[in-house]
Structure 1
């Protein structure tokens, strides 16, 4: 078995490069706590609205999105979100993402109470994927993105980047 030659990896395999896609703010209704179901603590966030803005696309988040969350025994929250975006030029785009949010217990407690917390005090990352039938935004069907989130009292704000 040969040993992987890390010193001679191609440049494209040595680091991650991104390009800003958009910043998004979501309104979220009060969390619906389903409770401790077998194996997990389930809750659901309903997204009635939001907005996104970037160099290549901007618009509104349509009513009806949701985020099915699991609060794990280690205090982390996993996300499983589904949204419909409507661009300013009327294209419809689905956005789905999985993610994780975690940090020190006191910081996470402050977030849960809707208190202001410095975004650098906790970890909040997502991996958005997109689908659209609109040819103007077809490039979204073939990219992988990453998101960095910050939870505010009324909902999260995300900076979304295309992985190059």
Structure 2
């Protein structure tokens, strides 16, 4: 097949570290199996974020309205509020996918051991977007990010990068 003549070279996708995010989680709330899969709410109890341009805390009350497919793949539907060190509020949303190979599923089900599993063994990627009315952080309204997630004791963590 011949490439479409309208296709142009636009350069490789580059990223820059925005911040590391740790979200402390409340006990899960199993909503149950429905027409699209098994829904579980992982509520945010707090947390922190820290990067070269901004840092602060996760405001309790957001969460992930996760949907588990029959094959174990988790589709994320996350909404969080972040408060920067200088008091600005940021609305952060992201979807994503968490795919755990069958060989790791039993270990991931063990609350005492799951955070010790090497994140290289599973696929956990997100696509964060931001909204804010804070003038000093308005630049966040116009960027797209990607994130790599992993489990930590008591919650979940992400390395978030801005797509340049």
- TM-score, normalising length: structure 1: 0.91
Aligned partners of 1:11 and 1:66: how far apart in 2? 36
Partner residue of 1:141?
141
Match of residue 66 from structure 1: 63
Partner of 1:39: 36
CA RMSD in angstroms comes to: 1.7
Structure 1 residues 159, 126: closer, same or farther in 2, change over 3 A?
same
Q: Secondary structure at the match of 1:63?
A: strand
Segments ≥4 residues shifted beyond 3 Å: none
Q: Deviations over 1:55-97 (max 9, x none)?
A: 0000000010111001101210111000000000111100000
Are 1:17 and 2:1 counterparts?
Answer: no
Does 1:30 pair with 2:27?
yes
Aligned length: 160
TM-score, length-normalised on structure 2?
A: 0.91
Q: Give the one of 111, 129, 144 matched to 2:108.
A: 111
| Contact 2:36 2:69 survives alignment (8 Å) | no
CA distance in 2, matches of 1:43, 1:126: 18
Secondary structure (helix, strand or coil) at the match of 2:60 reads coil
Cα distance between partner residues in 2 of 1:45 and 1:81: 9
> What stretches of structure 1 of length at least 5 have no aligned partner?
none
Note if 1:3 corresponds to 2:9: no
Name the CA distance, whole Å, in 2 between partners of 1:19 and 1:39.
35
5 Å-filtered alignment, 1:43-122, equals 43-114=40-111, 115=113, 116-122=116-122
- Whether contact under 8 Å (2:20, 2:50) holds in the other structure is yes
Where structure 2 has 5 or more consecutive residues not aligned to the other structure, the ranges are none
Q: Distance between the aligned counterparts of 1:123 and 1:81, measured in 2?
A: 17
